[in-house]
């Protein structure tokens, strides 16, 4: 069976604060129901007693109405007060009957007390003033009056409740309940649940929520979570100190912490609300911050002087601040509030209702159970409302982070695509640049080598006419072909391997040397790679060596030429040495000072980042090149047989 559509729409249309109104109203109604009366059937409250200070005679005792604060007029922290109570006549017969034990219920009493019945101590708590912190007044006490303890005459029964004063704590006595043990025991359990168990539950909840807020604050650094964490953790401390625990150490130190935690709780709670309602730089906000900073010193002074008026004054300050905060909220509400703010206002008002009820019932005598305070469940609701806001803020923050991450990812993606496009353009441009450079190099090389050779051949053919020397033309064409092959050789991947480069060159120049009947002494050994001998460097080296060998063949009148490689001192050396007439031996020798061949070789050596030295070899000429070697190991395809010869080796070879 499905609910009607209109009902669904109504339910879904109710905002969160609307639901809060509904549930809080139900909660307050339920509280009113369970605490409407404080009477326990079959029992009676003793509302009158005689009180006197310890050491005085009973005839000086004063008759007072309960509840009574015995040190209300003058603080006597070290004194004792004795209350003498009369047992109601109604239980005279019942107390003597077997199995009809009477019970005594003390809903509220001072910090230290003991109960004397007919001169026998039947109950006591924190009676001795030893070091330690405990407060007997924060929960109810149940005492059994056994029939054997009764005096023979009912009027002779003497119930005396003695209280010891405690610095900065008010002592007194609330009405004492007398009645059948069973009925009062149920009442005692009921009060114990409200006063102790519920306080523990609220303290534990505050501690857990406080830790959660603290964790989120450390991760998100959002101020709201930090304030909530502060508020809930100090509340947990205060509630912990409001349970029946015994803590070692000076009482005043724990009492100081108890009072300070309340000050900080109020301060943090206001700042949380201030943050939630965006009260930026308001007067009240500054006042609260001042209160939180001043609180530790003020309360320290209170503990030092033990002047209770200071605490009254401080409580007044807190009340003023809380009232101002409430006014600020109301003032802020005129401009409209969001869902979270409305929720907090609703819950805050409900919590104030619980506090107001406690005040009216306890202080003003309005009807209701005076021993059950609404503020405790009210605090719990307030705390869960703050937790709900926290949860919503967290969810909202995570949604925002998710959206921002998605937006960031989109922007990064776009940027990445742009970068890829830019890189692709750069790559194409770089490819074009490299291709253009290579094209220019090949063009220049072909112009200087192949083109020149072909032009010479063409001129020879044209000038020879019908008397063309075919052998000479074939030789020149063959030379042109060799030029072309040399250019293509330079394009092969030799990876800076000098022996391979020289070996390739040997194929081209070998036949010319053989034709000139010049022996070639090949002493090429493995050397480290030469980074500068890439394609452009290879063609420069080819041209240099071509020039050197052409000089040997045409001008040096040599019968032997030695090619040698070695490495030393991080450099790779190459030497070409002939046994010809040497430098200056022939006027047309290209290597003589200022020759075009020399300058060409020097220029090309600079281009391939090499040093070149021309020297006499006695007899003959030595042209030595020196290259910077790679730091990488020798080509793996070749054995590492480097030699440690130095330049002296060059002269030895010569």
Partner 1 sequence: MDSHNFLTQRQGQADETRLYLIEDDPLILHFVSQTLLQRPSWRLLGHSASLAHACEHALASSANVFLVDLCLPDGRGEEVLALLSRKKPEAELLVFTVFGEESRLVGALAAGATGYVLKGCTAEQLVLAIEQIREGGAPISPLLARMLLKQFRTVPEAPSALKANAVSLSDRESEVLKLLARGYVNKEIASKLAIGPSTVSTHVKNLYRKLAAHTRVQAVMIAQEHGLL
Interacting residues with partner 1 (CB under 8 A): 478, 481, 484-485, 488-489, 492-494, 497, 499-500, 502-507, 510, 522, 524-526, 635-639
Contact 377, 411 (CB under 8 A): no
CB closer to partner 1 out of 187 and 564: 564
Beta-strand ranges (E) seen in 409-518 are: none
Residue nearer to partner 1 on the CB measure, 137 or 635:
635
CB of 502 to partner 1, least distance (A): 5
Q: Which is nearer to partner 1, 309 or 507 (CB)?
A: 507
Residue 88 or 499: the one with the smaller Cβ distance to partner 1 is 499
* Least distance in angstroms from the C-beta of 491 to partner 1: 9
Task: Give dist(CA 283, CA 14) in Å, integer.
Answer: 35
Closest approach of partner 1 to the CB of residue 586, in Å: 29
- Given a contact cutoff of 8 angstroms between Cβ atoms, the answer to whether 576 and 561 are in contact is yes
Number of Cβ within 10 Å of residue 458's Cβ equals: 12
Whether the bond between 67 and the residue before it is cis, its omega within 30 degrees of 0, is: yes
Which of 585, 588, 592, 629 is closest to 614 using CA atoms? 592
Task: Tell me the HSE value of 480 on the side-chain side, using a 13 A CA sphere.
Answer: 17
Q: How far apart, in whole angstroms, are the C-alpha atoms of residue 295 and residue 307? A: 15
Three-state secondary structure call for residue 277: coil
* In the complex, minimum distance from the CB of residue 568 to partner 1, in angstroms, rounded to a whole number: 18
Instruction: Please identify, using beta-carbon distances, which residue of 78 and 492 lies nearer to partner 1.
Output: 492
Residues near 358 by beta carbon (within 8 Å), at least 6 away in sequence: 373, 374, 375
Nearer residue to partner 1 within complex by CB, 22 or 639: 639
Report the residue number, 73 or 471, with the smaller CB distance to partner 1.
471
- Minimal distance in Å, beta carbon 522 to partner 1? 6
Of 505 and 556, which CB lies nearer to partner 1 in the complex structure?
505
In degrees and rounded to multiples of 5, residue 572 shows phi and psi of -105, 130
Distances (CA, A) of 113 to 82, 83, 116, 255, 542: 10, 11, 10, 18, 114
Question: Is 74 in contact with 160 (CB distance < 8 Å)?
Answer: no
Least distance to partner 1, CB of residue 620, Å:
21
Minimum CB–partner distance for residue 609 and partner 1 (Å): 22
For the chain, what is the radius of gyration of the CA atoms? 54
Q: If DSSP codes are grouped into helix, strand and coil, which group holds residue 650?
A: helix
Q: Minimal distance in Å, beta carbon 507 to partner 1? A: 6
The C-alpha atoms of residue 626 and residue 573 are separated, in whole angstroms, by 5
How far is CA 138 from each of CA 171, 439, 499, rounded to the nearest angstrom? 12, 99, 100
- Residue 250's CB is within 10 A of a number of other CB atoms, namely 13
Of the pair 328, 450, the CB lying nearest partner 1 is at 450
Q: Are 561 and 545 in contact (CB under 8 A)?
A: no
User: Least CB distance from residue 494 to partner 1, whole Å?
Assistant: 7
- Kindly report whether the peptide bond that precedes residue 419 is cis, defined as omega within 30 degrees of 0: no
Minimum gap (Å) between residue 464 Cβ and partner 1? 22
Nearest distance from C-beta of residue 217 to partner 1, angstroms: 56
Kindly tell me which of 135 and 489 has the beta carbon lying closer to partner 1: 489
Q: Which is nearer to partner 1, 198 or 498 (CB)?
A: 498
Q: How far apart are CA 341 and CA 389, in angstroms?
A: 9
Two tokens, residue 469: 């020397």
């Amino acid at each position: 069976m499905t609910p009607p559509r209109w009902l669904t729409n109504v339910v879904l249309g109710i905002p969160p604060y609307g639901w809060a109104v509904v549930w809080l109203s139900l909660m307050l109604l339920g509280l009113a129901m369970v605490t409407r009366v404080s009477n326990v059937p079959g029992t009676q409250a003793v509302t009158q007693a005689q009180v006197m200070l310890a050491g005085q005679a009973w005839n000086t005792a004063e008759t007072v109405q309960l509840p009574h604060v015995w040190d209300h007029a003058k603080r006597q922290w070290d004194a004792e007060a004795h209350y003498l109570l009369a047992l109601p006549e109604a239980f005279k017969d019942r107390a003597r009957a077997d199995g009809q034990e009477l019970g005594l219920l003390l809903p509220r009493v001072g910090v230290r007390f003991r109960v004397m019945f007919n001169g026998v101590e039947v109950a006591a708590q924190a009676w001795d003033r030893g070091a330690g912190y405990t407060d007997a007044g924060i929960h109810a006490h149940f005492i059994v009056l056994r029939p054997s303890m009764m005096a023979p005459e009912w009027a002779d029964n003497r119930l005396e409740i003695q209280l010891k004063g405690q610095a900065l704590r008010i002592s007194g006595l609330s009405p004492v309940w007398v009645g059948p043990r069973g009925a009062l025991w149920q009442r005692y359990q009921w009060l114990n649940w409200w006063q102790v168990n519920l306080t523990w539950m609220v303290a534990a909840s505050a501690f857990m929520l406080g830790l959660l807020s603290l964790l989120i604050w450390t991760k998100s650094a959002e101020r709201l979570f930090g304030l909530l964490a502060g508020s809930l953790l100090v509340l947990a401390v205060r509630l912990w100190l409001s349970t029946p625990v015994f803590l070692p150490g000076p009482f005043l130190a724990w009492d100081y912490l108890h009072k300070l935690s309340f000050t900080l709780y109020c301060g943090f709670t206001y700042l949380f609300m201030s943050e939630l309602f965006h009260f930026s730089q308001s007067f009240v906000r500054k006042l609260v911050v001042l209160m939180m900073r001043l609180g530790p010193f003020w309360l320290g002074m209170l503990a030092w002087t033990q002047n209770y008026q200071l605490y009254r004054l401080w409580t007044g300050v807190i009340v003023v601040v809380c009232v101002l905060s409430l006014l600020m909220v109301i003032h802020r509400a005129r401009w409209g509030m969001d869902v979270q703010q409305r929720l907090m206002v609703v819950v805050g008002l409900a919590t104030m209702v619980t506090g107001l009820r406690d005040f009216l019932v306890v202080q003003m005598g309005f009807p209701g159970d005076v021993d059950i305070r609404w503020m405790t469940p009210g605090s719990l609701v307030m705390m869960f409302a703050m937790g709900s806001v926290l949860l919503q803020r967290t969810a909202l923050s995570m949604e925002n982070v998710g959206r921002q991450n998605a937006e960031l990812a989109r922007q990064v993606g776009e940027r990445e695509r742009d970068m890829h496009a830019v890189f692709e353009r750069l790559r194409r441009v770089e490819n074009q640049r490299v291709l253009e450079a290579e094209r220019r190099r090949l063009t220049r090389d072909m112009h200087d080598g192949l083109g020149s050779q072909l032009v010479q051949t063409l001129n020879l053919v044209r000038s020879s006419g019908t008397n063309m020397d075919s052998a000479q033309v074939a030789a020149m064409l063959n030379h042109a072909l060799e030029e072309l092959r040399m250019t293509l050789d330079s394009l092969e991947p030799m990876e800076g391997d000098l022996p391979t480069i020289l070996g390739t060159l040997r194929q081209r120049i070998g036949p010319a040397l053989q034709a000139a009947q010049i022996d070639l002494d090949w002493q090429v050994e493995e050397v480290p790679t030469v980074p500068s001998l890439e394609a452009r460097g290879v063609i420069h080296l080819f041209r240099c060596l071509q020039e050197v060998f052409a000089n040997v063949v045409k001008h040096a009148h040599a019968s032997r030429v030695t090619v040698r490689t070695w490495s030393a001192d991080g450099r790779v050396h190459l030497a070409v040495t002939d046994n010809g007439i040497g430098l200056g031996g022939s006027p047309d020798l290209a290597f003589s000072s200022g020759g075009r061949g020399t300058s060409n070789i020097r220029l090309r050596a600079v281009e391939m980042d090499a040093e070149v030295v021309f020297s006499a070899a006695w007899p003959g000429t030595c042209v030595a090149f020196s290259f910077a070697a790679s730091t990488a190991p020798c080509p793996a395809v070749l054995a590492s047989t480097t030699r440690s010869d130095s330049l002296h080796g060059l002269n030895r070879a010569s």
